[in-house]
Every structure is written in C-alpha cells, then in structure tokens.
Structure 1
Amino acid sequence: MSLNALTGTRIREHRARSGLRQAELARAAGVSASYLNLIEHNRRRVAGDVLGRIAAALDMTPEALAGVDEADTGAALREAAAAGGVAAELDRAEEFAGRYPGWAALVAAQNRRIRQLEQAVEALSDRMSQDPHLSAGLHELLSAATSVRSTAAILADTADIEPEWRARFERNLAEDTARLANGAEALVGYLDGVAAQETGIASPQEELESWLAAQGWHLPALEAGGDPGALADSITELASRAARQMARDWLEGYAQDARALPLAPFLAALRRDGPDPGRLAGRFGADPARVFRRLATLPPEAGQIGLVVCDGSGTLVFRKPLPGFALPRFGAACPLWPLYEALSRPGQPVQGRVAMAGRLASAFDSWAWGRIDHPQGFAGPGVLRAYMLLVPARGDGPPGRAIGTSCRICPHEDCAARREPSITGEGAGA
C-alpha cells in the first residue's frame, strides 16, 4: 500500500468526526497518546499493523486512511487544471484531494464530463457536416417548409382566388405540412438513434473496422496460415454485402503480409529497431506499405500503434485509431497531417512529431509514406495511396507540428491551412 503524507491529517479529522479523544483512540489502537499525536501531525509515518488497528478503531479501512486513491484523484485534478488553462497549485493536488475528497472528486468528475461532451460535439459536428442521411433529411424539411411558405403566401396575399383553386391550395398546404411534420419526426428519431447507438455504423468500411477493433486488430487464425476466405465467410457481424467483400479483400492482404513478415521475427525486429517502417522494410527487404499494414495488425502487447490510410482523393480508406488521436468519421481530415504530405510526395518518407489539438494536447511520433501502383499495367491509371503510422511520443523533445482532427472542431484559430472557422468557439493559437 502506498503511503500518503496526509495520512495523519486524515486520522485526526476522522477521529474528531467520530467524537473520540486522542487518548481514547490511542488506547483502542494500542499505541501511546504521544505517538499518536506525532502521527496525527504527520511527523511520524504509519503503516502496517498500527495503521490497521487505528483504522479498525475508527471503523474505516486502512486504504481509506492511507489515501491510496488520492494519487489518481490528484492526477485527474492536474489534468483538469491543464485542460482549463488555469494556473493552479499543481504540486498540492494530492493535498487538496486529501483534505477535501468530495470537492476533489467533483472537480475530477466534471472534467471527465466536459471531455465526454466535447467528444459528443465533435462526433455530432462531423455527422451534421457530412452524414448523407442527415443531409437528405434536412433537404426534405427545407423543401417542405419552402412549399408551405409559398402556398401560405399565395393564400394570404390573394383575396379573390376561385373556390376551386383555393381548395387546391389548401389541400397542398395540408399535404406539405403533413410532409414537414413527418420529416421532422423522422429526423428527430434518426438523431435520437444516433445518440443512443455509440457504434453508429453507417458504411461498409465502418462495419469492417468495427469488427477488426473487436478482434483487437490481430487475427491469430491468419497468423497460423488459416484460409482468409473461410474466415471472411464466417463473420456474421458484417451485415452488408459490400462489407463482406471488403473484409475478404482485407483478410487476403493480411494473410499475404503475415506470410511475408512472420510474426515472431517481426516482433523481434520491432523490439530491436523500434517502429520505424523504413528500418523494418530494409531489414526484411519488404515493401514499406506492407510494413505499415503489418505494424497495425500486431497483438496488443506489441504496444499502441495506429494507422491511417488514404487514397488519391485524400479520403480515409482505413482507420485504426489511437487514444488521443481523433479521426474524422465522415468529413475531411486536417490538411496538415503528414499523411497528406506523403500523398503529395510518393516514394519519399515523411517522419516527425505531431501534437494533436485538444484540451490536453497529445504528442505522437509519425511516419508516412505514399506510393503509386499500376495494377492494370503502365497503360492503366496509377492508383495512389498514402500510409501514416502513429505511436505515442517517446522521450523528451519539442511538441512537433500542431495538427487537428478537422477544421470544424480544431481550436488552432490562426492555422494557415484552415478551411473554415471552428464551431467550438474560442481556441488556442497554433
């Protein structure tokens, strides 16, 4: 059990709340009153059997008196201060948590709630700007509202309409208002469904990525030489035919990568050389793109590794997320990602550190690589893809290039590459 410098303070406060005198608690715990006095004033450390006897006399657990949860609460308080940009006394976070555990827990809980709400805003913003279903629903509402307004204006401004035409306009008005009400109800139901379903799977790509995430992005059956086609046919979680076809193609590529870069020697090289795809490609004589993909399919114990792949249009066609590095679901990503630098420079490696914008900026080491394939020969079109590998930043160093998720929710207001203002309001400078 880790000890806290304020254990004695907690003992004194709990004793006072229990109505015990110092001598009474000392007698119940089997220690002298003078020794207990030193403990209560944090001049003597207390642990083991003595702490247990004091805790029993106060009808508490030793863990509660030792404040073993305060380190986590203190970390949460420091996170809240950093996120809010407040010049708080960070070195006294544990002391605050020890003296006022209720208030400390409230601050920590509110900080977590703020972060959850920010993530919800990001997700809803992404959806509102790009979701085709939402766009169609809003178009239907606007169309019905425009028709209602036009019909109502005719009826209001024209006093001598023939009864037959008035009846026709009134019938149109009734139909359009019903369409408006039905459209609004359907849209509200759709948005409620989005809020209730965290998965919110809306495309075959998301179906596949959701299934891969549930497997931990690592498939032992294919590592052992299993049949990718049979595995694809057995995936009942993929509802659409398109998702099943994408899974079949992706699993076939996984099997080829696993054969070319066997797991055991690849993990050994990763431990020796680190995650640099160029070094690993050179060691195994492999194509860098294959190394990027292979790094994204390693077992979880290999460490946190994220991968983003885009095609020639810049559209993200594969997303293995990493904690702290938010990926847009529908819209365009940040144009400052190294991924797009590699897309514009096929065959040239891009390496550096990036800092993802947010209340608590997260730093990542990144490697990116672009390539052009000609699957139909030189006479056919070139197929361009770019890969970006991400790992949590290791060691000290500058924060690196400031990037975001997408312009709509990026707080870097003075970014030279910004396409549109952020909807999140006031933000930090880049």
Structure 2
Amino acid sequence: MSAASVNSNLGSKVRNKRRGRNLTQAELARRLGISASYLNLIEHNQRPLTATLLIKLAQEFGLELSDFAADDDRRTAAHLLEAFSDPVFEEHELNSADVRELASSSPAIARAVLTLYEQFRRARETLAELAEDSYAHQESQAGGASGIDPTRSLRADALPSEEVNDFIQRHMNYFDELEELAEALWVDAKLKRGARFAGMAEWLGRRGIGVQLSAGEQRIVRRYDSDLRRISLSEALPPSSRNFQLAAQVALICHHDVLERLTDDEPGLSSSSSRTLARLVLANYFAGAVLMPYDSFVRSAKSQRYDVELLSNRFGTSFEQVCHRLTTLRRPEAEGVPFHMLRVDIAGNISKRFSGSGIRFARFSGACPRWNVFRAFQTPGLIRVQTSIMPDGDKFFCVARTVAHGRGGYGAHRATLAVGLGCPLEYAHELVYADGVDLDEEDGMLSVGVTCRLCERRDCEQRVLPSLRQPLQLREDIRGVSMYTDPES
C-alpha cells in the first residue's frame, strides 16, 4: 500500500475502535501524531484516512490492515438493503443512503438487525411449513390426529451453511497456514503430479494408516475407521475426486488441531454444527492446495490465461476444483485475478458462493435469473461467456458451465450443477475467454441485478417481483412482458 490517500469512509470504524479502548480523541490523536481536531474530522468522514495513518492505527490497536477494510461495511449494507426489500418493510420510508449510514456508523447495530431479520424469516418459513403440514393432514385424514411432529419448533440459531459462507468471506477464502501444510506434504511425501494418490497412501502408511478402495458401500465415497486406522474410498470415484477425498481426509486426521484452532475461536461460528462444517470446508481447502500447489498453480494459471480446462488437464483435477482453487489465489505479492464463484442446481439453489470480485450475491431471496450460470443449463458441457453490468454500474466478465456430480457406473445417478466464475471487467483481458469479446462495448453488456426487489430496472422481461425502489404501478389498459415491467419506460 502506498502512502497515497485512501479514499474510504472509515471514520466511524476508527471512532468505534477508539471508544472500545476508552480513549479520548485527544489521547488517540497524540499517539497518532495528529491534532485532535483533525482526528475529529476523520471520525466524521470529513477527511480521508491516509495509508500512513492506517498503519499507525493498525499498530495502535494490534490489528491487521484488513480490519479497517470497508468491504465488511459494504457487505453489511448490501445484506441490509436486501433484508429491507422484504414487503414487511414497505410502509417504512427507507432509502439506501440511510441503510449505508447505519452499516458504516453503527456496524454492531446493523449486524444485530440482520440477525433479527434472519430469525424472523426462518420463523415465518417454519410457520408456513407447519400450516402446510396441518392443511395436508386435514385433507388426508379429516378428524384424525394432528400429524405434525411436536418436536418441530421455531429455530433461533443461524444456518450453519450461512455462517460458514460468512467465515470464508471474512478470510477472503485464503488460509496461509493450510497452504504451508499442503506444501510441506508435497516435500515430506515426495509427491509427484502423476502419482499423488500413491504418494499420499505411502506417506499415510508410514504413519500406520492404511488406504484401500472399496466397492461395497454404494452411498459412501469416503470413510475413516479410527479403530482400524484405515481409509476406505469408493472405487466408483473418478481419479480427480479420489485424490481430493484422500487429501481432505489427510487434513482431518493429521491436521485436526489446526482446523480446530482456525474455527473454534471464530465468533461468527455460533454452533458446533457450524464449526464442524467449517472444519470440513477447510479440509477441502487443504485438499485443493495439495492437488494444485500455490506457486506452480498460479504460474500455470497466468501462463495459460486462466483456461480452466487446460488447468484441469495439467493438474489432473475437475473443472469445479480448478474454479474453486482460482478463488483462493490471495497470497500477498503473488495474487491472481480476483474471482467470484457460485454453484447452483437446476432449481436455482445456490450451494456454494464466494465473492472475491466485489459482486453481490443474494442472501435472503432468489438471485437474478439473467446471470449466465443459470443459462448454462441450456447448453450442458459448453462454456458460456457473459459481460454484464449491475444497476450500480459495476461491470463483470463471467464464464459458466455445467458439471456433473456423482459416482461413475451405468445407471448411477449424477446430479447436474452449474458453476459460474467471474471477475471485474478490467481483469477480463487476462482471461482466454475474453478473446474476441469487445470489452469496451457497453451496449453489448447484459443488464443484470442481484434480486428483483433490489433492481431498479423496469424493462426486464424476467422480473417476477416489483422493485423496492420503484413504486408499484399496475395498469389495466396495458401489459408489458411481465406483470411488473413498465412497457412504456
């Protein structure tokens, strides 16, 4: 970071840190070597926070520079905007400026509001499910017993998957300690690119842990018997998945203490289920780092211009494994293109998401159907390319393709998912997929959004809900391509 002025809105964050230490403005200003009046202007966002002051503040409070990053506030504001798009808030005159001010000036209160909304939303969904159960039972067994499980209740805890997604996002999907452990395994086990499975199996054997392929269990791809100290892997797995599962089990057996340390003290993981899921996710991170070592992978990614299929062939990994690994290239002084990634099923459910590009994902509602990751289902197995522009003017370059999940063999069920990978448009020229695409032609960019409720565009043929930011105007004398589009806009 240079000593140039950092144009950010971090004054409220400085104020919160100072108050948390019970320091007066005068005392903190003295320690920073500035006047109290200048600090007061910084805290009220009337003066920029320079890089030099950022470093001093980080040293003063014993923090990392990333703790002063504005990304957390922007994400909180984005989640608040989405929460307030719920029709329950329609009678309140909320605007985006108010929401952003709340996220910036009172982040703790903003997060508390989000927690309340999440609990309210889950309670509402549970009540709806209970009502549906009750109605269905009455229809099928008129006058009979309730048919509703009495143990079902309104859950107040957060979904583990959401907490883990937030955990990964806070760390920008980069864990240096796991990278170092993966590199150490390569050296200690003398791994070679074409013989990683045999190398890991031999390394485990020296530690008294056996590895075998199993054909007996149809629905289990990996099992570790701690009494027999034996890892069993399904022989129906393709080699890329077999290598990945073995590397993940290495992390869970040999580095469990590290996984626990990374997750147990994490304040955002509020339950044992969340922490367990986080450890499994980190074990998968370790596996990706083993199969695609950081230094050689980032060099290959850049030399091959991020051609996912070529990288998949070079490292013996799957298309999805490469996409996920590309999102982890955050090592200082050796960073790759900042990617975002999401994985969806054919019903539109998002099962994996991470944003290193700055793009926003829907958290409480369905995503925009115009994203090319959803259109990938129309052309299975083919790469789809898209340049897109968000309502706020941010531009992205995205590729998407379907992938198959499941075991091999005739008649085996294989789920079809779609994986989307994207980056800010200014990085697109580094990707082979942008060859032949006019990146400067804004007319050729597809207008996309986050969700219908947050999108102001009134001419979208795929709009299914009215926009929070536009008054609902329905007419009986004219109809557009959607009930909520304005045909004359």
Normalised by the shorter chain, which TM-score bucket?
0.5 to 0.7
**Equivalent in the alignment of 1:392:** 424
More moved, 113-122 vs 240-249: 113-122
Structure 2 residue runs of 5 or longer lacking an equivalent are 5-37, 39-45, 50-72, 90-116, 128-155, 186-249, 430-438, 473-484
User: Does 2:467 correspond to 1:422?
Assistant: yes
Within 5 A, what are the aligned runs for 1:141-156? none
**Equivalent in the alignment of 1:408:** 453
Q: Which of 244, 259, 270 lines up with 1:232 in the alignment?
A: 259
Deviation at 1:316, TM superposition (A): 1.1
Separation in 1 of the partners of 2:368 and 2:85? 15
User: Does 2:159 correspond to 1:203?
Assistant: yes
Which one-letter code corresponds to 2:388 in the other structure?
V
Kindly indicate whether the alpha-carbon contact (under 8 Å) linking 2:401 and 2:420 is maintained by their aligned counterparts in 1: yes
User: Does 2:82 correspond to 1:122?
Assistant: yes
Deviation at 1:389, TM superposition (A): 1.0
Q: Secondary structure at the match of 2:359?
A: coil
Structure 1 residue runs of 5 or longer lacking an equivalent are 3-60, 62-68, 73-112, 141-189, 191-200
Separation in 1 of the partners of 2:285 and 2:259? 12
Q: Which of 238, 261, 265 lines up with 2:296 in the alignment?
A: 265
Deviation at 1:128, TM superposition (A): 6.0
Q: Secondary structure at the match of 2:419?
A: strand
Q: Which of 114, 120, 128 lines up with 1:133 in the alignment?
A: 120
Separation in 2 of the partners of 1:137 and 1:286? 42
Separation in 2 of the partners of 1:71 and 1:404? 31
Q: TM-score, normalised by structure 1?
A: 0.53
**Equivalent in the alignment of 2:354:** 320
Kindly indicate whether the alpha-carbon contact (under 8 Å) linking 2:311 and 2:322 is maintained by their aligned counterparts in 1: yes
Please list the CA deviations of residues 143-196 of structure 1 after superposition, one character each: whole Å capped at 9, or x if unmatched: xxxxxxxxxxxxxxxxxxxxxxxxxxxxxxxxxxxxxxxxxxxxxxx9xxxxxx
Kindly indicate whether the alpha-carbon contact (under 8 Å) linking 1:127 and 1:330 is maintained by their aligned counterparts in 2: no
Count of matched residue positions in the alignment of Structure 1 and Structure 2 = 269
Separation in 1 of the partners of 2:163 and 2:459? 36
User: Does 2:168 correspond to 1:212?
Assistant: yes
Separation in 2 of the partners of 1:127 and 1:325? 24
Q: Secondary structure at the match of 1:299?
A: coil
Normalized per residue, the structure richer in helix is 1
CA shift in 2, pair 1:414/1:300, >3 Å: farther
CA shift in 2, pair 1:300/1:306, >3 Å: farther
CA shift in 2, pair 1:281/1:398, >3 Å: farther
**Equivalent in the alignment of 1:106:** none
Which one-letter code corresponds to 2:349 in the other structure?
T
Deviation at 1:127, TM superposition (A): 9.7
User: Does 2:365 correspond to 1:331?
Assistant: yes
Q: Secondary structure at the match of 1:228?
A: helix
Separation in 2 of the partners of 1:239 and 1:138? 21
Kindly indicate whether the alpha-carbon contact (under 8 Å) linking 1:126 and 1:328 is maintained by their aligned counterparts in 2: no
Which protein shows a greater Rg?
A: 1
Deviation at 1:365, TM superposition (A): 0.9
- What is the identity percentage for the equivalent residue pairs of Structure 1 and Structure 2? 23
Kindly indicate whether the alpha-carbon contact (under 8 Å) linking 1:309 and 1:316 is maintained by their aligned counterparts in 2: yes
Separation in 2 of the partners of 1:233 and 1:372? 32
CA shift in 2, pair 1:300/1:202, >3 Å: farther
Kindly indicate whether the alpha-carbon contact (under 8 Å) linking 2:304 and 2:311 is maintained by their aligned counterparts in 1: yes
**Equivalent in the alignment of 1:39:** none
Deviation at 1:291, TM superposition (A): 0.8
